[in-house]
Amino acid sequence: MNYAQTLSTIYDEVLPLIRKGQVADYIPQLAKVDPGKFGIYLHFLEGESFAMGDAEEQFSIQSISKVLMLCMAVGKLGERVYQRVDVEPSGDPFNSLVQLEYEQGIPRNPFINAGALVITDMLIDAFDDPKQYFLEFARAISGSQGVAYNAGVAKSEKQCGFKNAAIVNLMKSFGNIKNDVEDVLELYYDFCSLEMSCQELAKAFCTIANHGKSIINKKKYLSESQFKRITAIMMTCGFYDEAGEFAFRVGLPGKSGVGGGIVAILPNKFSIAVWSPGLNEKGNSLVGMKVLELFTTKTNLSIF
Ligand code: GLU
């Protein structure tokens, strides 16, 4: 298979869709991103890689950080993480509050905001300096010291994060947040503000595709069972209320973020990251979804 050629064909095919989506503007700093940006990076576990467009330019990974947060929590605390957060698709938008009240403050899964906020709360108790540890973890598995937080994005989100504040407070009222709500929100916004390129993301997620063992430093971060479970949650919950659509069209476990990034993996084989800031009405990168659909269709490389 000529992957360079395949990516190039896909790139040309989706070019007319660039700028068709809506850049996330509920976080003022993200509204400033050029909607014309477009990068793809494909990395095989065996070492081969292929890049297109702005693949080396960093962007705000936003909710993609939720997967790394979960890896960090499960790696340290084990399966008890799942006592405070469920593993069911929500079928609701990422920042929805409605289910939380019916379900006594237990979020549907770790990849919606409520779930990631509970995970953040756990990380505050589990690590002396979770912000630094998270950064070092992302740097280690991406093999890049250039990975960094963007304080401006974190601040910008904090200033208008009324829904996230409501979510944490509601969960606190049910006893599912142990720390101060402001501390939880602040760390959560830091995690979301992490900036990585498609190249760095694809390399980092090779760790998950490789059953939790980094291809960079060869360290095993997840047990087999932890790998299986995290991958399953990516498959069922990685795309807000469009997880079914992504499975249907693409057929890979993955995670998106409102910065317009999507990363997907085929266990034992590869990781692929796409960035195009224009989002569809569900908050997933419009072009990113199409690229990945075309990729798995043209290469027959999906889990199905
Ligand atoms: N920081 C964003 C928020 O909490 C993340 C959303 C996302 O990427 O899904 O709204």
Q: Which atom of ligand 1 is nearest to the CA of 63?
A: 8
pLDDT for the residue 165: 97
Question: CA-based angle 21:24:30, to the nearest 5?
Answer: 125
**Tens digits of pLDDT across the chain (304 residues):** 899 999 999 999 999 999 999 999 889 999 999 999 999 999 999 999 999 999 999 999 999 999 999 999 999 999 999 999 999 998 887 778 888 999 999 999 999 999 999 999 999 999 999 999 999 999 999 999 999 999 999 999 999 999 999 999 999 999 999 999 999 999 999 999 999 999 999 999 999 999 999 999 999 999 999 999 999 999 999 998 899 999 999 999 999 999 999 999 999 999 999 999 999 999 999 999 999 999 999 999 999 9
CA distances from 201 to 115, 188, 206, 215, 264 (A): 22, 19, 9, 13, 10
What domains can be seen in the chain, in order of their start residue? 3-299 (3.40.710.10)
CA distances from 31 to 36, 174, 217, 236 (A): 13, 34, 36, 29
Could you tell me the pTM of the whole model?
0.97
pLDDT for the residue 96: 82
Give backbone dihedrals phi and psi of 211, rounded to 5 degrees, phi first.
60, 35
Q: Exposed, middle or buried: residue 303 (CB in 10 Å: 0-12, 13-18, 19+)?
A: middle
Measuring from each residue's beta carbon to the nearest atom of ligand 1, which residues come in under 6 Å? 62-63, 94-95, 113, 157, 164, 192, 257-258, 283
- Residue 22: CB atoms within 10 A of its CB come to 15
pLDDT for the residue 229: 98
- Residue 194 pairs in a beta bridge with 149
- In the numeric block, which tokens belong to residue 286? 């419009």
Type and span of the H or E element at 194: strand 194-196
pLDDT for the residue 97: 87
Task: Write down the H helix ranges in 98-180.
Answer: 98-102, 113-126, 130-142, 151-160, 162-173
pLDDT for the residue 196: 98
Best residue among 92, 95, 168 to mutate for probing ligand 1's pocket (most ligand atoms within 8 Å of CB) is 95
Q: Which residues of 220-242 are buried (b: 16+ CB within 10 A; e: fewer)?
A: ebbeeebbebbbebbbbbbbbbb
Type and span of the H or E element at 127: none
Task: Write down the H helix ranges in 193-261.
Answer: 198-209, 224-237, 243-249
- The span from the first CA to the last CA of the chain, in angstroms, equals 19
Distance from the alpha carbon of residue 144 to the mean position of ligand 1, in angstroms:
23
- Among 144, 264, 124, 253, which Cα is nearest to 194's? 144
Q: Which atom of ligand 1 is nearest to the CA of 240?
A: 9
Distance from the alpha carbon of residue 284 to the mean position of ligand 1, in angstroms:
11
CA distances from 80 to 75, 119, 146, 210 (A): 11, 11, 33, 23
Which residue's alpha carbon is nearest to atom 2 within ligand 1? 62
